[in-house]
Amino acid sequence: MTFSTSLALLFLATTLEPSPTAIRGSVEKALPLLKAAAETHAEKKSCFACHNQAYPMVAFDAACKLGFAMDEELRSAQVDHVREFVKKNRKEFDKGTGTGGQIDTAGWLLYTLEFAGEKPDDDTAAVAGYVLQRHADRKHWTTSSNRPPTQMSSFTSSYLAVRALKAWGTEKQKDAIANRSAAALAWAVQTPAKENEDRVYRLRLLHIAGATESVTKEAVRELLDAQQFDGGWAQKSDLPSDAYATATALAALSAVDTEAVQQLAYRRGVNYLLRTQLADGSWHVKTRSPVIQPYYESGFPHEKDQFISVTATSWAVVALAAAWRE
């Protein structure tokens, strides 16, 4: 078989219509691993963790669309863990100092509670108040870490902040929230994306902050233009496609444009995910982040790569669930 023939067959494989059975089966294989990762983190650590709590919770919510029932005991335990973290750090949120991870932690924390179906209370208002005043002297929010790909982009931090304020802000904060959201939108319109993480969360930020249709469509086009020949997306132009970059791109596209899931590009991305899922139900992505905490087993495979692999697997479930049709 010639090289050109192999490429042609690969491209053909990416364009095939994925079956609902394959999509549902893929999600079903992934869910037990995500459940283990979420449960084990809560058992071993007192801190909130976006990689083992926020992302799996979003995946559990997405799986419900495929008919998988939410594990109520798991949901309640995760909510209790997150709320206990907030209560423990309430003074820090009230003072505006926040916790480790700063806006990213606060944003993903509220994201978790949102997808768990929780309602606002005094504790969530304290976190929203911290988000509102954080970087109040700037047009947007910035990340406090450099742990690629999940904690490196100010587009991510700004999206999380605007979403958190819209979902959890109080009536008294309404005008201030509108002003900060408008400023973040203007910044996002004027600021180009550099890597896939930027493109994904710039698109999400533009959408939630109320960008014009033409601006949003251009951001969609930029993300679609970054799709690789194999149907996946890469974190950076000098890296190969991987499940994290692919799944986050697809999840963003489906969140912004409901018709995106019917397009060829989305189908090619879904086929990439189905083709690269491992037999154990996970997707393995190699970490690019420096180690900042003692190693521990979270109940998910891939050892030092487990956190980014949990994250990739969670977003893969979200992307696949969006593509599923009976």
pTM here is 0.95
Least confident of 9-23, 29-43, 281-295: 9-23
What's the pLDDT at 145? 85
Residue 3 has pLDDT above 60, yes or no: no
Segment 261-315, tens digit of pLDDT: 999 999 999 999 999 999 999 999 999 988 777 888 888 999 999 999 999 999 9
> What are 14's two structure tokens?
């990416």
* pLDDT, average across residues 176-202: 98
Asked whether residue 179 carries a pLDDT value surpassing 60, the answer given is yes
The domain that holds 198 is classified in CATH as 1.50.10.20
Residue with tokens 């005094």: 122
Q: Rounded CA gap, 213 and 190, in Å?
A: 15
**Tokens linked to 63:** 């799986």
Pairwise CA distance, residues 326 & 322, whole Å: 12
Count structural domains, the chain: 1
Specify whether the CB–CB gap between 301 and 282 falls below 8 A. Answer: yes
Q: How confident is the model at residue 9 (pLDDT cuts 50, 70, 90)?
A: low
What is the spatial distance between Cα 322 and Cα 314, in angstroms, rounded to a whole number? 13
Q: What is the dihedral of CA 174, 179, 181, 184, to 10 degrees?
A: -160
Count CB neighbours of 142 within 10 A: 17
Domain that holds residue 55: 3-323
The alpha-helical segments, DSSP class H, found in the chain are: 3-15, 20-44, 55-64, 72-88, 90-95, 102-115, 122-133, 154-168, 174-190, 196-209, 213-225, 243-256, 264-276, 306-323
Cis peptide before 149 (omega within 30 of 0): yes
The SS3 call for residue 233 is strand
Q: What is the DSSP string of 39-100?
A: HHHHHH-SS--IIIIIHHHHHHHHHHTTTPPP-HHHHHHHHHHHHHHHHHTHHHHHHT---T
Which is higher by pLDDT, 315 or 5? 315
Q: Could you give the 3-state DSSP secondary structure of residue 242?
A: strand
The pLDDT, as a whole number, for residue 261 is 93
Cβ atoms 10, 275 nearer than 8 A: no
Residue 11, pLDDT above cutoff 80? no
What would the mean pLDDT of 195-224 be, rounded to a whole number? 98
Distances (CA, A) of 202 to 112, 116, 242: 20, 25, 20
